Amino acid sequence: MKYIYIFLLVPCLSIAQPSALKEARTLLDDKKFVKAEQLLSEYVKTNQNDKEGLELLGDALGHQKKWDKAATRYKKLTRLEPKNANFHYKYGGALGMKALSVSKLKALGIIGDVKGAFLKAAELDPTHIDTRWALVELYMQLPGIIGGSKSKSFKYANELQVLSKVDGYLAKGYIYEYDDEPEQAEKYYKMAINEGGSLTCYDKLTKLYEKEKQPEKAISNLEASGKKHQRNAMHYQIGKVCAEYNIQLEKGEKCLLTYIDNYSAKDGVPKAWAYYRLAQIHKNKKNKKEALKWIDKAITSLPKIKVFKTEKSKIQKL
């Protein structure tokens, strides 16, 4: 259930919104979840059955990992509107995340409600893609003794494939990867790339290659992704693989320098990590002076990152 909650926090639109709800949406968009919770908590006190207010409050709580409180709001929504698939889906997702945060014994008492909520959402809406994704993951991750089933995972992956070929292929890739069948997982991730070619498709295959310690394939896939999507982040990813696996070091260095030159906040990974990877590359080249130069830049940029200091100690021993 690791990824189940990714899709949950997308509340339904409303034509007419009180000003409090508009403000709450703005706060959520700005990731000011505590303020959004405070505002919405006051709002629902006087609007106890306002479905949009309850949903937004559940979302604000979920973003803060307050799974019990989020689940309570979503459960109330399922009672107010029992035929709304999305409310059942969100309720199941919040419970699922709670199950991951408690002991295994406590989780056993929650799983039945998680499964029931997702199955209800799937029954109510035959086109609800996110619910089917959740069920694919749930049935793969549950032990067989409490209802886990690869065949049931495939059932929902097949339903996904009818709704969206890309999602179906990605789901089957996930199943095979989880079941430690990397060749089959690779096959379906490639099919997803050929069908849709989104960043998600490429990223799934890259991560599989890295997991399976196939850096050359990971680099080739990253380069193919870069040609299609023109992302600066691709340069960092290639540099990272080259540094970690001590391969194609010249290419890795060039990519990291390009990443630094073209860096913007939207790239995600701070430049300090590119400095760190450059230090690793020069360490692999036995170039102590250059390696120390780059690791010092990394430490100066982000002095609290322990791995940077650990890397410096390794470089100093060259």
CB atoms within 10 A of CB 249: 17
Structure confidence at residue 8 (pLDDT): 52
Residue-level pLDDT at 12? 47
Would residue 100 count as lying in a domain?
A: yes
Q: What is the pTM of this model?
A: 0.83
- How does residue 288 score in pLDDT terms, banded at 50, 70 and 90? very high
Higher pLDDT, 41 or 5: 41
Report whether pLDDT(169) > 60: yes
Whether the predicted pLDDT of 194 surpasses 90: yes
* 234 domain residue, yes or no: no
> Residue 13 belongs to a domain with what CATH number?
1.25.40.10
Task: Specify if 111 maps to a domain.
Answer: yes
Q: What's the average model confidence in pLDDT over 1-29?
A: 64
Q: Residue 114: inside a domain, yes or no?
A: yes
Residue 49 placed within a domain:
yes
Mean of pLDDT values over 11-21: 58
Residue range 5-10: mean pLDDT, rounded: 48
Q: pLDDT-derived band of residue 264, with 50, 70 and 90 as boundaries?
A: very high
Which pLDDT belongs to residue 17? 53
Instruction: Note the pLDDT of residue 101.
Output: 85
For the cut 50, the answer to whether the pLDDT of residue 217 exceeds it is: yes
20 — pLDDT class (breaks 50, 70, 90): confident
Average of per-residue pLDDT across 67-92: 96
Domain that holds residue 27: 1-125
> 112 pLDDT exceeds 80?
yes
Task: For residue 188, tell me if it sits in a domain.
Answer: no
Helices 199-211 and 182-195 pack at an angle, to 10 degrees, of 160
- Amino acid present at 84: N
Into how many domains does the chain fold? 1
Query: What percent of the chain shows pLDDT beyond 70?
Result: 93
Residue 55: inside a domain: yes
Instruction: Tell me what the pLDDT averaged over the chain comes to.
Output: 91
Please compute the mean of the pLDDT values over residues 167-187 and round it to a whole number. 97
Tell whether the model's pLDDT for residue 81 goes beyond 90.
yes
In a domain, 311, yes or no: no
Provide the pLDDT for residue 297.
Answer: 97
pLDDT of amino acid 209: 97
Cβ pair 311, 293 in contact under 8 A: no
Q: In this structure, what token pair is assigned to residue 262?
A: 């073209």
Asked if the model's pLDDT at residue 15 lies above 70, the reply is no
Query: Using 50, 70 and 90 to split pLDDT, how confident is the model at 270?
Result: very high
Q: What is the 3-state secondary structure (H, E, C) of the chain?
A: CCCHHHHCCCCCCCCCCCHHHHHHHHHHHCCCHHHHHHHHHHHHHHCCCCHHHHHHHHHHHHHCCCHHHHHHHHHHHHHHCCCCHHHHHHHHHHHHHHHHHCCHHHHHHHHHHHHHHHHHHHHHCCCCHHHHHHHHHHHHHCCHHHCCCHHHHHHHHHHHHHHCHHHHHHHHHHHHHHCCCHHHHHHHHHHHHHHCCCHHHHHHHHHHHHHCCCHHHHHHHHHHHHHHHCCCHHHHHHHHHHHHHCCCHHHHHHHHHHHHHCCCHHHCCCHHHHHHHHHHHHHHCCCHHHHHHHHHHHHHHCCCCHHHHHHHHHHHCC
